[in-house]
Amino acid sequence: MLIGNQYHNTGSSNGSILPSMETIDEAEESTTTSSEELNQLIQQLQQELIGEDKRHFDTVAYFNSRIQEEKDKHSKKKHFLENYFKLSLQLKAV
């Protein structure tokens, strides 16, 4: 991989332009650093994804628990009101 001013005149009589060896070495170092930085970035993103998944599932679990509590509360109220209604009908019949 060549970066920046990649070519220089070798001074040959035909005036050909060849890649600079120094530039290639710098490019390899730059690529290595970029690969290391990319790996670090990938690891960081993976950790963020894991953390986000945990937050998501914890939130879902919390709300599922709250939903179940509300269902139970509703069920108890409904049962109480049904029994109260039946008792009221029995008292009315007396």
Buried b (16+ CB within 10 A) or exposed e, 38-49: eeeeeeeeeeee
pLDDT, tens digit (0-9, with 9 covering 90-100), for 6-39 = 444 445 455 555 555 555 555 555 556 688 899 9
pLDDT, tens digit (0-9, with 9 covering 90-100), for 35-82 = 889 999 999 999 999 999 999 999 999 999 999 999 999 999 999 999
pTM: 0.52
Question: 93 falls in which pLDDT band (50, 70, 90)?
Answer: confident
